[in-house]
Chain A
Amino acid sequence: MSTDSRIITASVLPPPRSVTGIGGWIRVNLVNTWFNIGLTTVFGFILVVALWYGLKWVFFDADWRVIGTLGGRIIIGQYNVEAACPGRDCFWRPQAGLLLVMVLLGMAWSVSGGGLTKRIAVLFAGALVACAFLPYGLDKMGLDVRLLFAANVPALALGWAIARHTRLGTVSWIAVLAFCTFILILVLLRGIPGVPYLKPVSVLYWGGLMLNLLLAVVGIGLSLPIGITLALGRSSRLKVVNLLCVTFIETFRGVPLITLLFMSQVLVPLAFPENFPQNSLVRAAIIITLFSSAYMAENIRGGLQSLHPGQGEAARALGLPVWQTTLFISLPQAIRNVIPAIVGQFISLFKDTSLVYIIGMLDVVEMSRAFIQGNPEYLASAKEVFVFLAAVFWVFTFTMSHVSRRVEQHLGVGKR
């Protein structure tokens, strides 16, 4: 210990040994009272038992081969079955869409300069490339499929290089390109009549994780702007606007999503002529988006109400007109204050996409359930399938909440 501290000032001492280090932490938090010693023992026992049996099942008892049998159906559903795509050569289209997403992710990595974006990009690209080396015969997983999986790493690098060496490497360009890419992917999946290699594939056959993600992206992308509009409308002094927004919000919040989806299936066709083109995917996307917008509107309204009235006064005193005050002062603060609620709504929306089974669409959960039901020899493996699906959903939702926490830190929520 240094001894240069002078007597006249209160000397700065290290905390007592008993509260520092691992031993100190255990003493202070786990075994500080008889009650806590009891709790620690009970929960420690439960934890050990759960881990023992859980891990034993995962590594020794479970038969994970069923996942391999499900294979590509988990990702694209029935997109590539003979009925959907005669010749079964449509598998490259979802994979090409995935490559486009990877290019965007590479650009985002370059623009953000590493950090979390880099880790997410590397993790997802790595998982996809690992798919290229799955130990199946070439008859089950062709060389072309494997090559397209492996191409995700070059795609990531390409995106990174584009952002680094061209003018496209800005956040606004990436946003524009992301929108274009999404439209392009939809066209690619749907196909164009008469164009070779792009035979139309009916949306009835779109399924698997691809369907969940498409619905989630549309829902997340549209429900935030629509929700903001509704929230501003609900705070409007114009009676008609206010009434319309309140009616919309309360209607869509007051009815279960399943009921809305079911109604869209049964009632909407009645409103159109018999031969009017009907598209169950579009209907589902609209219902999910509107349902989520109603909740989003209330989240944003909560954020708007949390603002100090002085903020609006200061903006008005500076001469900012109402729309600029809303755009530059109120909304940024309101949204920042309710990021946890907004992301909660995004996560809930993503999980709710599996409810589209109610209108006969084969999302990843329904796909797997139908597979097990149709192949009784796999009935015993249902456990493995659903544990695997839970893990898949968890990876996506955990990524979302992790990103949101990082965004909050970046914006200094709660600190400034």
Chain B
Amino acid sequence: MTVYEETVGVEDIIVYKDVHKWFGNFHVLRGITTTIKRGEVVVVFGPSGSGKSTFIRTINRLEEHQRGDITVDGIAMTNDTRNIDTIRRDVGMVFQSFNLFPHLNVMSNITLAPTKVRKIPAKQAEMLAMELLERVGIPEQADKFPAELSGGQQQRVAIARALAMQPKIMLFDEPTSALDPEMIKEVLDVMHELASSGMTMIVITHEMGFAREVADRMMMFDEGIIVEDGPPAQIFDAPQEERTKLFLSQIL
């Protein structure tokens, strides 16, 4: 195995060292080594089955990696459940299919985790939730149930729910792919605002306009490795790898 000698700086919030993952015999992640800095906005893209989704799901242990080291905000990702719990509290996640809790109204969806996990008093949690709903632009929907909202509104509630835990990192797993075209913009606008507030974000998306405008870095995934990693200017205007060129030519 390779020995890594670099010291981890405080500005490095996520550090991956030769991370591997298998689903049965299928080698999904084939040695991911990368470092993400505090406040960076990283857009991850690539063909389906390339391991990009598995990659961001290993950051909060929705998927377990089987080889290599992951460090999130200075905490080593081990089998120690206390470490996993701490990391999950600090990492928010937004899913393609929203995954709001259908039996709870919008307010309870947002306040559940802060009151149960962070033990914030209910009143305070509700005030925070209202602030967040205003930030994502739907304070008037607080008493509705998820099924009564449009897809775009549901995804904005999901973002507010993740933000309510006051995370240091936000993960977005194709947040706009399940949305009708006219609702994509309202979600991207919220994400844009979040990025400019200095949040560390890792976003899987094929919204290349958003990527060019907001991303600090872009990572092209293919066959379980990071094929190319660089600023949007490089990826769009001077891609170094044939596979990046080919993939971009197919989706743009």
Report which of B99, B112, B162 forms a contact with A310, defined as CB distance below 8 A. B99
Instruction: Give A92 Cβ to nearest chain B Cβ, in Å.
Output: 45
* Interface window among A164-172, A232-240, A321-329, A373-381: A321-329
Q: Which residues of A contact B143 (CB under 8 A)?
A: none
Contact present for A333 and B117 (CB under 8 Å): no
Q: Which residues of B contact A336 (CB under 8 A)?
A: 103
* Interface window among A19-27, A77-85, A408-416: A408-416
Instruction: Give B115 Cβ to nearest chain A Cβ, in Å.
Output: 10
Contact present for A317 and B103 (CB under 8 Å): no
Chain A residue at smallest Cβ distance from B145: A416
Contact present for B117 and A317 (CB under 8 Å): no
Q: A328-B112, A328-B116, A333-B103 are in contact. Are A314 and B95 (CB under 8 A)?
A: yes
Interface residues on A, range: 20 to 34
- For the complex, is B193 an interface residue (Cβ under 8 Å from A)? no
Instruction: Give B136 Cβ to nearest chain A Cβ, in Å.
Output: 17
Chain B residue at smallest Cβ distance from A322: B81
Q: Which residues of A contact B88 (CB under 8 A)?
A: 316-319
Q: A310-B97, A412-B145, A416-B147 are in contact. Are A319 and B89 (CB under 8 A)?
A: yes
- For the complex, is A38 an interface residue (Cβ under 8 Å from B)? no
Instruction: Give B239 Cβ to nearest chain A Cβ, in Å.
Output: 32
Q: Which residues of A contact B162 (CB under 8 A)?
A: 317-318
| Chain A interface helix/strand/loop/mixed | helix
- For the complex, is A308 an interface residue (Cβ under 8 Å from B)? yes
Per the bound structure, the CA–CA distance linking A308 and B95 in Å amounts to: 13
- For the complex, is B148 an interface residue (Cβ under 8 Å from A)? yes
Q: A415-B147, A416-B145, A416-B147 are in contact. Are A319 and B102 (CB under 8 A)?
A: no
Chain A residue at smallest Cβ distance from B171: A317
Instruction: Give A332 Cβ to nearest chain B Cβ, in Å.
Output: 5
Chain A residue at smallest Cβ distance from B86: A319
- For the complex, is B85 an interface residue (Cβ under 8 Å from A)? yes
Q: A311-B99, A313-B95, A336-B103 are in contact. Are A320 and B147 (CB under 8 A)?
A: no
Contact present for A318 and B112 (CB under 8 Å): yes
Binary CB contact string for chain A from 8 to 29 against chain B (1 if under 8 A, 0 otherwise): 0000000000000000000000
Contact present for B146 and A320 (CB under 8 Å): no
Q: Which residues of A contact B61 (CB under 8 A)?
A: 316
Q: Which residues of B contact A416 (CB under 8 A)?
A: 102-103, 145-148
Contact present for A308 and B99 (CB under 8 Å): yes
Considering the complex of A and B, which 8 residue pairs feature the smallest CB-CB distances, nearest first? Answer: A416-B147, A314-B99, A318-B113, A310-B99, A317-B93, A319-B88, A319-B89, A416-B145
6 contacts between A and B (CB under 8 A): A316-B88, A319-B88, A320-B117, A329-B101, A412-B147, A416-B145
